[in-house]
């Protein structure tokens, strides 16, 4: 397996898909490899999960420079693990993602009576997304999406939400519907 020294990325081809570097070298046992980019909260969970597996990982803060200038956390991490533990760490992420989806699905469905569409504008966009007419109720379709979504993810703090809510992305096929984790407002 080849390794890019700029990005610490394992590369299947002769060049790095991240930075285009063509002078790759063979990966060494002691190399830390780029595993994933993830949100703060996921990063903290991933870190403790990896440490339970006795895998030492490195988390580098990554994200919005404007937030950094304001003294806020950057919102995300780039995660690196030692090459010999790379494949195991990959499966840890898969488990973590699946767990998060079920947990978030449970929370959303338990609060179904609080769901509200944020604005008329959002309602119009949701109708368009689900191919609905003006007479159709939107919420049952959103319920359908939440029940079937293979991936529901916490995308982190919504910077405009006064209640410190997080953006929860519910993905079904090409469609993504967003919930606020505190107000249960729905947008597209
Ligand atoms: Zn690179």
CA distance 90 to 82: 12
Give the separation between CA 136 and CA 172, rounded to whole angstroms.
20
Residue segments in the chain with a per-residue pLDDT below the cut of 50: none
Output the six-digit token pair for 88.
């195991």
Both tokens of 31, joined, read 């190399």
pLDDT at 180: 96
The C-alpha angle with vertex 168 and arms to 166 and 173, in degrees rounded to 5, equals 165
- Helices 40-52 and 86-110: crossing angle in degrees, nearest 10, is 130
Distance 24 CA to ligand 1 centre (A): 8
| 38 Cα to the center of ligand 1, angstroms | 18
Contacts of 89 (CB under 8 A, 6+ apart): 35, 50, 53, 55, 57, 81
Q: Ligand 1 center to residue 90 CA distance, Å?
A: 19
Beta strand spans in the chain (E): 2-4, 9-11, 25-26, 32-39, 58-63, 75-82, 116-117, 151-157, 166-172, 175-180, 185-187
Q: How far is the CA of 164 from the centre of ligand 1 (A)?
A: 36
| Distance (Å) from CA 150 to ligand 1 centroid | 31
Alpha helices in 10-111 (DSSP H): 40-52, 65-69, 86-110
Domains of the chain by range and CATH? 2-98 (3.30.70.1530), 111-187 (no CATH)
CA of 68 to the centre of ligand 1 (A): 24
């Amino acid at each position: 397996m080849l390794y890019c020294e700029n990005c610490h990325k394992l590369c299947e081809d002769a060049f790095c898909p991240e930075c285009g570097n063509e002078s790759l070298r063979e990966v060494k046992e002691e190399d830390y490899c780029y595993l994933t980019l993830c949100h703060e909260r996921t990063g903290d969970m991933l870190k403790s999960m990896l440490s339970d597996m006795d895998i030492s990982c490195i988390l580098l803060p990554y994200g919005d420079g404007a937030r950094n200038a304001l003294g806020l956390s950057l919102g995300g991490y780039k995660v690196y693990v030692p090459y010999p533990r790379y494949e195991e760490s990959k499966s840890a992420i898969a488990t973590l993602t699946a767990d998060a989806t079920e947990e978030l699905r449970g929370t959303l469905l338990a609060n179904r009576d609080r769901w509200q569409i944020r604005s008329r504008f959002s309602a119009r966009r949701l109708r368009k997304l689900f191919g609905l007419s003006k007479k159709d109720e939107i919420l049952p379709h959103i319920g359908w999406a939440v029940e079937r979504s293979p991936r529901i993810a916490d995308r982190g703090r919504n910077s405009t939400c006064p209640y410190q809510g997080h953006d929860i992305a519910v993905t079904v096929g090409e469609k993504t519907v967003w919930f606020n984790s505190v107000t249960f407002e729905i947008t597209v």
